[in-house]
Amino acid sequence: MEKEIQHIIQTLGLQPHPEGGFYGETYRSEMTLDGLERNLLTSIYFLITAGNVSRFHRIKSDELWYFHTGNAVVVHTLDENGHRELLLGNELDKGERPYLLVPSGKLFGSTLRSQEGYALVSCAVAPGFDFKDFELPSRGDLLHQYPDHSVIIEKLTYPDPIR
């Protein structure tokens, strides 16, 4: 399995993402929003593995997820209404969907549905992704804000640095 994962990373030119997983930009629209230096749309390949999940983060744009191959993905969201799991994959009878939307400003992260393997997806962001709009909250801040969800917060955040 590790050999297959490395083949995907090398073939698609993926690199480590700050939130976890691996990514490679595949498209950045030359069109921009009127009056702003903001691309209309960007798209990436995104690969997660059992040992390299996507940590809780948020961006200021809508993000569309498209499943390609591998094991199904659980996209976890967390807000004042609690923790929710959205299933991304091709087994429709198991509640999975090949596409899903994460609305702008939503706190989310992702894991594999199983405890092994990988998932390759594409993510499209509109208006286009810009790292200045990327927020990776600390574990401590999320535990303070959502104390009833410590298990998923600890799973989908980096440990806070020792001060």
Residues 6+ apart with CB under 8 A from 21: 46, 47, 48, 49, 52, 53, 54, 110
- pLDDT over threshold 60, residue 163: no
Output 34 or 41, whichever has higher pLDDT. Answer: 41
pTM: 0.92
First to last CA, the chain: 38
- Average pLDDT, whole number, for the chain? 94
pLDDT at position 126 is 94
Q: What is the dotted CATH code of the domain comprising 2-155?
A: 2.60.120.10
- pLDDT over threshold 60, residue 88: yes
Contact yes or no for 121/77 (Cβ under 8 A): no
Backbone angles phi, psi at 113, to 5 degrees: -70, -35
pLDDT tens readout for residues 41-73: 999 999 999 989 999 999 999 999 999 999 999
* Cβ neighbours around 42 below 10 Å, total: 20
Angle at 84 between CA 162 and CA 148, to 5 degrees: 50
HSE of 142 in the Cβ direction (CA atoms, 13 Å)? Answer: 29
Average pLDDT over residues 82-99: 97
pLDDT at position 162 is 59
